[in-house]
Chain A
């Protein structure tokens, strides 16, 4: 447990100390903010919801979780500091959880910055807080799942570029399963939608908390963290 905390603390400090994180945060807030404003202006100030923000934020979360996660293990493998991790008296799963939590907190902090938008709505309008709350819950769950995918990809290779490509590939595939659901037989479509990131995310934007979707995101999250730990273990050889 202590090791998880020590590692999460280190990862969070690293990202808070890195100028790149502020660029990521600035771009995230700027783009999602622009989408937020344009949507409300487009509705003639009639729809005071965060739909516009969520539309942009879901894509940005996918994209930036890859950016945040890609260096986590790849970089250490490339520079050799990974050896320090492998020789520390720490379980693989503790290393994985520590790094994951550090990265999750980084992304969560960026999402917290965007609470500025619903705050604006609360001051100047009369928003329905239900969908706002569930949208944020969905974004946090999506962040966790996609960071776990990113962390897994990062363990596979010492090249950050390759890790980013693998993570994007998995995430885009999991996301677009939902779009693929439109074609083909209805039954298969429903299964695909149930397995897709987008299909499970859409409920949250409508103000619905479907326990199946919560379980889905947590399962993807857990599965990829577990696979990361197993992969690191297997790489020790035998």
Chain B
């Protein structure tokens, strides 16, 4: 499992990640979403131990990435963005090298390499130089090296980028399979992918977590939820408190200047919202139902903040 507590990361004076906390349990596949520069890759690099957090703590499979770095790194498999490989090595040489480096004993390395090559569909490419592989195959080799040591936690940075459509569905199938008894966190730009394979999505923007959403049934996803977008005048905490009082199953988010109230599909809370807000003395400037597809949510809450001159 992954546990991130109050983690921030500065590169010099630039803040890349701003006080984020989340947990991912074993058996969960979590999608990491966000525009470029939101801090996804930095967060992933901290999780894999290649860089340390400026503040806060991260534990991987119970090991602190800073105080028990070797144990933590042994528990992680990482597919870096764009799957960098040694182009002069063959698939077989590379997987053997990475496997040995991650501590697989010499006597079991070959069977392990054969196993992951089968799993990732690399048969027939054993002796091909990595530099000569297509982008899709490189990505598969990247996935194979990430799981070669059978890690408890998998961190995949855009695992399906550059992969052709048929291979994409195979890769997704594989990620779902791997996620059954492991902890998987992967980033993507492709929204349907999140709906297809994740139990949960974490959206990052400007180094902060702006949304965590559980996807109970991947086939229904967000269509089971409706969202009201409200613009109201008054004290923000008071409005938030009032809105939270509506319905047991609804949730409230505030993204300046809008309030978002999400509630189950079969309910209609709009009259309640209007009544509640007028009770606390706020005037509603606008209230509308938004399409609560992930894409809309994503676009709304990651909208770039206007540049102040």
Contacts and interface: CB of A to CB of B under 8 A. Distances in A.
Interface of A: 2-3, 6-7, 10, 13-14, 17-18, 79-81, 83-84, 86-91, 236-238
A87 B84 contact: no
A220 to B, nearest CB: 28
B51 interface: yes
Interface stretch (B67-75, B292-300, B301-309): B67-75
A81 B86 contact: yes
25 contacts: A6-B101, A7-B101, A14-B88, A14-B89, A17-B88, A80-B81, A81-B86, A83-B78, A83-B80, A83-B84, A84-B80, A84-B145, A86-B51, A87-B48, A87-B49, A87-B78, A88-B98, A89-B74, A89-B103, A90-B70, A91-B70, A236-B49, A236-B51, A237-B52, A238-B53
Contacts, number: 70
A88 B88 contact: no
A54 B79 CA distance: 48
Contacts of B70: 89-91
Interface residues of B, number: 34
Nearest to B66: A238
Interface of B: 9, 11, 45, 48-54, 66, 70-71, 73-74, 76, 78, 80-82, 84-89, 93, 97-98, 100-103, 145
A214 B74 CA distance: 39
A90 B101 contact: yes
Given A6-B101, A81-B85, A236-B50, A87 B145 contact: no
A238 B54 contact: yes
A88 B103 CA distance: 9
A81 B84 contact: yes
Which among A10, A88, A236 has the greatest number of chain B C-beta atoms within 10 A? A88
A18 B100 CA distance: 22
A57 to B, nearest CB: 29
A80 B82 contact: yes
A3 B101 contact: yes
